[in-house]
Amino acid sequence: MARSRKSHVIVALLVMLISIELSINVMGQAQGGNNNGNDNGNNNTGDNNGNSNGNNNTGDNNGNNNGNNNTGSNNGNGNGNNNSGSNNGNGNGNNNGGSNNGNGNGNNNGGSNNGNGNGNGNGNGNSNPSPNSNPNPSPSPTKPTKPTKPTKPTKPPGYAASTHYDVLTPLGSGRERALCQARGKCNKKTLTCPEECPTRKPKNNKKKKGCYVDCSSKCEVTCKFRRPNCNGYGSLCYDPRFVGGDGVMFYFHGAKDGNFAIVSDENLHINAHFIGTRPQGRTRDFTWVQALSVMFDTHTLVIGAKRVSQWNDGVDALTVSWDGESIQIPTNGEAEWRADSSLSKRQVVLERTDDYNSVRVTVAGLVQMDIKVKPIGKEENKIHNYQIPKGDSFAHLETQFKFLDLSDSVEGVLGKTYRPGYVSPVKIGVPMPMMGGEDKYKTTSLYSPLFRRPNCNGYGSLCYDPRFVGGDGVMFYFHGAKGGNFAIVSDKNLQINAHFIGTRPQGRTRDFTWVQALSVMFDTHTLVIGAKRVAQWNDDIDALIVSWDSESIQIPTEGEAEWRADSSLTKRQVVLERTDDYNSVRVVVAGLLEIDIKVKPIGKKENIVHNYQIPNGDSFAHLETQFKFFNLSDSVEGVLGQTYRPGYVSPVKVGVPMPMMGGEDKYQTTSLYSPLCKFCRFQRPSMFEEVAKF
């Protein structure tokens, strides 16, 4: 009986040892730490980690299904190999460093506190508030939280989900492949070009379609001709015929030798130069677009058609210039010309899409244009009775635009058709539905971003939560203070003050502010332009208020739509001219300055995106303004004025998202009408005392 009992004990011990050995084999070898999950690999250390992680990992509180050789703690699930750093999110790639990064980032990235969905090989530093940054906290390692919708800008210049991919080695058949890096269902999927269009850039665009890789939610490859579709959205062809962003076709004839704003937005302006002819007996010109000027950041790209007496398909009639310098697009190899914007580092690519006279223009993150140079043929001339003069083929552009980042308030002949809720005023169903607006969109030259409204990215602009672009071209912010008045320009014969309105949401350390009124002081006069307080904004109701020497004035809405006066001291002329039916005005004080002003509200979307927390019952109507000065001295002062001094060097930190300009104490005035501040220079030409009250 005792021997039997001993045998049972030995068997039990053997079973226990086998169980322990099996347990060790399942959990991995040399595993350190406590409370870790199941099916993890070998040589891991740390406590409270999840399940199915790889080998040689260290750190605590990490998630599930991570790779090998990772270090750091509190990381999420499904990350790759050889990563370091802590508090990172889920689904990141390999060989990344740094901490507190988001989800779905690529490989070989460095730095910390970056956002979600970044590509490969980035090196943002710690706590870098670049467009890749994300203010959302890192997700919990055990229950990842869904990130809130980020505020703009969330993506680097040039980001587009459709083209966010890495080019892979082609198949043996020559079919090109791409690995999608965009977030969403297409992430990490390989798309292969079909046999019908095996390459993205076919050498002969006339006969072959190109492979278009789309890594957005469509997640597809399609075959397309890379030339303008004159019946597609965003097209501008023929005797100018447009198809708007709303899909409505219309004609806009402009004028022979005129220049018109086709698109004008916060970060993009496109002008068109029209050529034309007017046969005897006609009441209008026949016109075509001969050149386009694309203005963004600090650059101007011009694409045009040469004047050609006798057309030849085998001779290039395409002309291109970059910042005033003529450039040549190669005809061999990739047949591309590339540049980077000096301000935003966005890439600019011009690529030939045929041997001659066809080009694709891409300004990363802003616009893509397919352009073809075409002549007026003999048959076309005869059918339409253009009566083209001999010795000129009237070479012109056929163009199709694809816009990537237009705002809701975009302007221009074509641009406005992309606004949300836009309703076309043209008469649909007639053979030639006409779009007016020549007076609204005419510019002084092909290179001018001014069509009688402020260009908020141009020199001398003052817009938004006050953002300036100085006379030196440097952008900066000056927040002032809610209810404060500040000298914008102060010179010996001119003073311009601004009245700031604002709000301070709970928990913030500074005000959100906007310019509600401007006071322009010169000679013995004071001109004030302001925005009324409006509870509910309506584009068709005037919120513009103007006073001249404390007397309210009304600018006519008909005829010349102008108000005029002469300075009693110098006889200089003052003109206020409406530049739209409501809420827009151009101010000219002869010999001193020109101001384009537009009254704008804070829209619902803008309020949400920036978290302004605008109170109910106030649309915070404010001014967007651009100044042009004619006679400033070398010692001019003021928040904006100082930037026009010869040799001025801006003290702001260039390259950061919000470069701040100080000087509130230097330029604060006691009222909107006072020319007095610590650094102000303006003096009335006599013992004149302004008593007006705004």
Q: Do residues 413 and 363 share a domain?
A: yes
Both 517 and 373 in one domain: the answer is no
| Other beta carbons less than 10 A from residue 194's beta carbon | 12
Assess whether 49 and 71 both reside in one domain.
yes
pLDDT at 367: 96
Question: pLDDT, tens digit, for every residue of 36-67?
Answer: 444 454 445 554 454 444 444 555 445 444 54
Least confident of 214-223, 446-455, 546-555, 586-595: 446-455
Query: Alpha helix locations (H) across 369-451?
Result: 378-384, 438-441
- Span 406-446, pLDDT tens digits: 988 888 999 999 998 899 999 999 989 999 888 788 888 89
Percentage above 90 pLDDT, the chain? 54
For the ranges 46-55, 172-181, 331-340, 516-525, the lowest mean pLDDT is seen at: 46-55
Task: Specify the range with the lowest mean pLDDT, choosing from 311-315, 493-497, 564-568, 650-654.
Answer: 564-568
The answer to the question of residue 12 being in a domain is no
| Structure tokens that stand for 521 in this block | 């002081």
Q: Is residue 109 situated within a structural domain?
A: no
What pLDDT, on the 0 to 100 scale, is given for residue 71? 52
Instruction: Please identify, among 181, 204, 224, the residue that sits at the C-terminal boundary of a domain.
Output: 224
Q: Residue 19 pLDDT > 90, yes or no? A: no
pLDDT greater than 50 at residue 118 = no
Read off the pTM. Answer: 0.51
Neighbouring C-alpha atoms within 13 Å toward the C-beta of 314? 0
Residue 2 lies in a domain: no
How does residue 129 score in pLDDT terms, banded at 50, 70 and 90?
Answer: very low
pLDDT, one tens digit per residue, over 662-689 is 999 999 999 999 999 999 999 887 544 4
**Mean pLDDT throughout 229-249?**
95
**Looking at the domain assignment, is residue 45 inside a domain?**
yes
State the pLDDT at residue 100.
40
Inside any domain, residue 25: no
The confidence score (pLDDT) of residue 107 equals 42
Average pLDDT for 602-609 = 89
Q: Over range 376-382, report the average pLDDT.
A: 91
Q: 644 and 559, same structural domain?
A: yes
Q: Are residues 511 and 562 in the same domain?
A: yes
Same structural domain for residues 199 and 302?
no
Q: Check residue 266 and give its pLDDT.
A: 81
- 324 in any annotated domain: yes
pLDDT interval class at 204 (50, 70, 90): low
Instruction: Please spell the DSSP secondary structure of 144-191, one letter per residue.
Output: PPPPPPPPSP-S-TT--GGG-EEEEPPPTTS--EEEE-SSSTTTT-EE
Residue 665 neighbours by CB under 8 Å, 6+ apart:
678
Q: Are residues 343 and 400 located together in one domain of the fold?
A: yes
Q: Are residues 478 and 553 in the same domain?
A: yes
Instruction: For 62-108, write each residue's pLDDT tens digit.
Output: 544 454 445 554 454 444 444 444 444 444 444 444 444 444 444 44
What is the per-residue pLDDT for 206?
A: 52
Q: What token pair was written down for 197?
A: 């269009």
Contacts of 84-91 with CB under 8 Å at 24 or more apart are: 85/112, 86/59, 87/138, 88/138, 89/116, 89/138, 89/139, 89/144, 90/63, 90/139, 90/144
Render pLDDT for 569-586 as a digit per residue (tens, 0 to 9). Answer: 888 999 999 888 889 999
Look at residue 140 and tell me if it is in a domain.
no
pLDDT band at residue 634 under the 50/70/90 scheme: very high
Q: Are residues 282 and 211 in the same domain?
A: no
What sign has the CA pseudo-torsion 225, 226, 227, 232?
Answer: positive
Q: Do 503 and 412 sit in the same domain of this protein?
A: no
> Is there a domain that residue 546 lies in?
yes
- Who has greater pLDDT, 377 or 62? 377
Give the strands of the sheet with 190-192, arranged side by side.
165-168, 177-180, 190-192
Domain membership of residue 185 as a residue range: 165-224
Same structural domain for residues 257 and 360? Answer: yes
Amino acid, res. 555:
I
472 and 411 in one domain? no
What is the number of domains present in the chain? 4
